[in-house]
Amino acid sequence: MEKNAKIYVAGHRGMVGSALVRRLNQLGYRNIITRSSSELDLRNQQQVFAFFEAEKPDYVFLSAAKVGGINANNIYRADFLYDNLMIESNTIHAAYVNKVKKLLFLGSSCIYPRMAPQPLKESYLLTGTLEYTNEPYAIAKIAGIKLCENYRLQYGCNFISVMPTNLYGPNDNYDLAKSHVLPALLRKIHTAKIKNIPIVEVWGSGTPLREFLHVDDLSDACLFLMEHYNERELVNIGTGTDLPIKDLALLIMQVAKYKGEIKFDSTKPDGTPRKLMDVTKLMTLGWKPKISLEEGIRMVYSEVEQMKFSD
């Protein structure tokens, strides 16, 4: 990407989009365009087509999506399917019509079958049944991957798809009913610490394994792939290591210096038992993460300490 190329970051207020804008700015890209959802509703085809026709971006990072943790995915099932399908279809088609040079689409590790062998290779896509709690989101993301693949095959568009593992970092969602596990535990443990509450509730059994990547590493990987990858197959982005939810809770307790105990709430779902990414492809291309989980949690915890929560 040329430094003065027009780059549209869709979803720039979200955790991923804002990290992409930060990284692009750091690297000296000067022509980044963004729109908030009130200025441009990506679910609205007319608005999206008019925006692309007027702006004619050279490059697009499609990081806009309706996202959330296990609870939100399971409750707002129709919204996760509809909103994400509309956002992707409108943006990818508009990118084709307006001759965008390259588009990077962000998916998720939940696109892989629930009981796929671990670690998850890119080739396991569509080889089995999905995890039901996030099936609508996964189906929408699989449709996005297939849009990129087939606009490439039919029209020669240079559209690529990347699959990040579980992410965390600045601008994460801390709403306990909708968030992912890492921000939820940071908030719960921090609140328990400052209010001297002896027990913190952790959903499920604590045994599911999850892999976590700091969003600044993700944005770095996305820029690397925008520069160096032009193939049809998706690319996993992760660290290649995971840990049980219980150990994540213990690590956050250690960083927060919280001395209480954990209680597991078995009425809440565990979700997929494990979803560890096989990152051989990305590492072979020449990229690896820089921020360790402990370091990343320390960075984010220092932000959480400044936040005001209502609980």
Using CB under 6 A, which of 15, 64, 138, 181 touches ligand GDP? 181
Beta-carbon contacts of residue 158 (< 8 Å; ≥ 6 apart): 101, 102, 103, 152, 230
Among the listed residues 210, 184, 216, the one whose alpha carbon sits nearest the alpha carbon of residue 270: 210
Transcribe 5-33 into DSSP letters.
--EEEETTTSHHHHHHHHHHHHTT---EE
Only segment of 58-66, 142-150, 203-211, 228-236 that touches ligand GDP (CB under 6 A): 203-211
Which residues ranging from 18 to 77 are in contact with ligand GDP (CB under 6 A)?
A: 69-71
- Please identify which of the residues 137, 151, 168, 229 carries the catalytic annotation: 137
Q: Can you tell me the distance from the alpha carbon of 132 to that of 115, in angstroms, rounded to the nearest whole number?
A: 12
Query: Nearest residue to ligand GDP, using CB?
Result: 69
184: which 2 tokens?
């939820």
Using CB under 6 A as the binding rule, whether residue 204 contacts ligand GDP is answered as: yes
First to last CA, the chain: 45
Only segment of 9-17, 143-151, 189-197, 198-206 that touches ligand GDP (CB under 6 A): 198-206
CA distances from 141 to 33, 63, 66, 243 (A): 24, 12, 11, 25
Using CB under 6 A as the binding rule, whether residue 271 contacts ligand GDP is answered as: yes
Using CB under 6 A as the binding rule, whether residue 270 contacts ligand GDP is answered as: yes
Applying CB under 6 A, what is the total number of residues that bind ligand GDP? 22
Using CB under 6 A as the binding rule, whether residue 121 contacts ligand GDP is answered as: no
Active-site positions? Answer: 137
Binding site for ligand GDP (CB under 6 A): 69-71, 110, 134, 166, 179-181, 184-185, 202-204, 208, 210, 245, 268-272
